[in-house]
């Protein structure tokens, strides 16, 4: 009986572990001024070949707050995937985007949805606010996705970005990003990047 309890406990521990992303750590910027940092960030955008980040997320949308772990995978400036995990480490939801096309698979509710970023914005307002989901993902990772977004830059990385009524704050300023807060109206998402690799 003791042996069965040990096996069950070990299985639960293994199932609770959210997979850490495999890959090479991303080197920080080497800039000494904000202008030099922006040049380095634009150079990284020009040679961007994807990244993955394990994150802790606290999201408040439509008056409801949820906290969860997630993994963000950005393949390029058009494609991204966000996987949200349950407290025991199983997949709760997967959001995939290619350009403006979005699909969501909700395993908790056993449902699927397909549409565009504007449709998604009705339930999650940060999407469809001027950036595609992949561009928003790049910004959350600390890479300026386009030049028509307003940026405040520190030598270590982005400090703040804004477009439309969305404000993204990086505290501390760093690349890759460490702690990010995204706000739009009453909606707020706090993201802590636990590990970011390419």
Question: Where exactly are the structural domains of the chain?
Answer: 26-197
Once rounded to an integer, what is the mean pLDDT over residues 147-175?
Answer: 96
Q: What per-residue confidence (pLDDT) applies to 22?
A: 76
For 112-159, what is each residue's pLDDT tens digit?
Answer: 999 887 777 666 655 556 789 999 999 999 999 999 999 999 999 999
Please indicate whether residue 116 or residue 44 has the higher confidence score (pLDDT). 44
Query: Which pLDDT score is estimated for 122?
Result: 65
Mean pLDDT of 14-21: 49
CB atoms within 10 A of CB 176: 21
Nearest to 23 by CA among 50, 55, 57: 50
**What tokens appear for 198 in the block?**
């390419």
pLDDT digits (tens, 9 = 90+) for 46-99: 999 999 999 999 999 888 999 999 999 999 999 999 999 999 999 999 999 999
Tokens representing 48? Answer: 């961007």
- Residue 12 pLDDT > 60: no
CATH for 26-197, options being 3.30.70.100, 2.50.20.10, 3.40.50.2020, 3.40.50.410: 2.50.20.10
Angstrom distance (rounded) from CA 127 to CA 110: 23
pLDDT over threshold 80, residue 20: no
Q: What is the pTM of this model?
A: 0.85
Burial of 116 (0-12, 13-18, 19+ CB in 10 A): middle
Which is nearest to 193 in space by CA: 23, 10, 69? 69
Q: Mean pLDDT for the chain?
A: 87
Work out the pLDDT band at 4, boundaries 50, 70, 90: very low
């Amino acid at each position: 009986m003791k042996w069965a309890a040990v096996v069950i406990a070990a299985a639960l521990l293994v199932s609770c572990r959210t997979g850490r992303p495999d890959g090479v750590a991303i080197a920080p910027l080497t800039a000494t001024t904000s202008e030099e940092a922006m040049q380095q960030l634009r150079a990284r955008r020009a040679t961007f070949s994807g990244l993955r980040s394990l994150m802790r997320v606290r999201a408040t949308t439509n008056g409801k707050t949820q906290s969860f772990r997630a993994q963000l995978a950005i393949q390029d400036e058009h494609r991204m995937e966000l996987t949200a995990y349950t407290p025991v480490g199983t997949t709760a939801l997967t959001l995939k985007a290619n350009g403006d096309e979005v699909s969501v698979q909700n395993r908790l509710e056993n449902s699927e949805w397909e549409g565009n970023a504007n449709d998604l914005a009705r339930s999650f307002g940060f999407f469809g606010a001027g950036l595609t989901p992949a561009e928003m993902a790049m910004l959350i990772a600390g890479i300026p996705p386009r030049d028509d977004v307003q940026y405040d830059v520190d030598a270590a990385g982005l400090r703040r970005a804004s477009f439309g009524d969305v404000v993204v704050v990086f505290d501390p300023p760093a690349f890759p990003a460490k702690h990010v807060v995204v706000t739009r109206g009453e909606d707020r998402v706090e993201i802590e990047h636990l590990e970011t690799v390419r």
